[in-house]
Structure 1
């Protein structure tokens, strides 16, 4: 039986098999941004020559690449039709579109129209 704490043998596993929550993408995105920020701070620090900062930099680079690979695995999964918003936003960025405009058109307006339709149906039922 595999030890869940031993992630070294599981680094290259596809992200779909271990996914347990819908918050994984947002957690991975936040982790990527956090790691990139820490890498930038360490690189811009005046004391980058000591061994502890180099060790910390390498640790953050490794974790950044690991989180990025997990995101890439999620984005490449064609057989799994989940996460259409994430994949749509990625394709919008790949096509040099503004992801905020894409989200407004494909998500916000879609649900706003559905809400208006539902409100109209409820108004029709609530005549009295």
Structure 2
């Protein structure tokens, strides 16, 4: 437990293997994307968002890092990876591997933006 979080096993495993790594999209992906896995930066001011995610979805969401430089990303105990911004949420993948594929390759332009006024 750190910074008010009880980290789930998926987050701990991802950080152990990939912590402080930045994954960037391929040059062909438009718009470009990135995922920075930073266990320290990810926790800054994230406890209230994580609490809201847990209340909404009923599982532990641990901070993962930053998506596309500006959006905090979380990984659920189930492996689902999301990113959040002011009133919006993006489904990056149902697993960490799927989220990496999305960050690097994209998905043909499908819009993954969801309105999340509850955030």
Provide the TM-score with structure 2 as the length reference.
Answer: 0.21
Greater Rg, structure 1 or structure 2?
Answer: 1
Higher helix fraction: Structure 1 or Structure 2? Answer: 1
Please give the TM-score of this superposition, normalised by the length of structure 1: 0.20
